[in-house]
Amino acid sequence: MSNETKQTSYFASGCFWGTEYYFMKAYGVLQTAVGFMDGHVQNPTYKQVCEKNTGHIETTEVVFDPTQTSYEEMVKLFFETHDFTQTDGQGIDIGPQYLSCIFYTNDEEKTTAEQYINILTNKGYKVATMLKPASTFWKAEDYHQQYCENKGIRPECHTYRKIFV
């Protein structure tokens, strides 16, 4: 498959194991990876990020085929698989590395994300999700990749709930 038929997007919604779990099962998704974005340390380790002083957010890289699905579908899945109203992390995972954020790679992605934040706001939700331009994605250690799949478990930190019709 050529790069013209691939699109890469970045989503942070708490523990990256749970975020990746749902994205890797989505129709049209070709591959996923977990790592870190938005910090000030080059090539951080998981241990460094957990110390909460690198500025990184646990992030999932999602590569999908835009002829099979859309960025809009990815944004919907992002919002439907975590608590986008929580301001200090996700569930029991508290800290700056677990914040909700969409890292956009272009103006079109930013506009789509803003539209969905507006839809949720109009539904009465107080959306805590941040929008930030994508920066360097630092891939996490190999044992974090496809963690739930490799362990044969479902994530405890994320659940799916239908919000958009």
Evaluate if residue 1 carries a pLDDT over 70.
no
Name residue, tokens 């919604």: 13
Dist. CA 14–CA 84, nearest whole Å: 10
| DSSP H or E stretch at residue 74 | helix 71-80
Express each pLDDT in 111-162 by its tens digit: 999 999 999 999 999 999 999 999 999 999 999 999 999 999 998 889 999 9
| DSSP H or E stretch at residue 57 | strand 57-64
Dist. CA 130–CA 49, nearest whole Å: 19
Dist. CA 51–CA 129, nearest whole Å: 22
Express each pLDDT in 11-54 by its tens digit: 999 999 999 999 999 999 999 999 999 999 999 999 999 999 99
Structure tokens at 40: 């000030």
15 is catalytic: yes
Dist. CA 163–CA 37, nearest whole Å: 27
DSSP state for residue 155 in the 8-state scheme: -
DSSP state for residue 38 in the 8-state scheme: S
Q: Which of 15, 101, 148, 157 is catalytic?
A: 15
**Residue closest to 23 by CA, chosen among 67, 69, 86, 87:** 69
Domains assigned to the chain: 3-151 (3.30.1060.10)
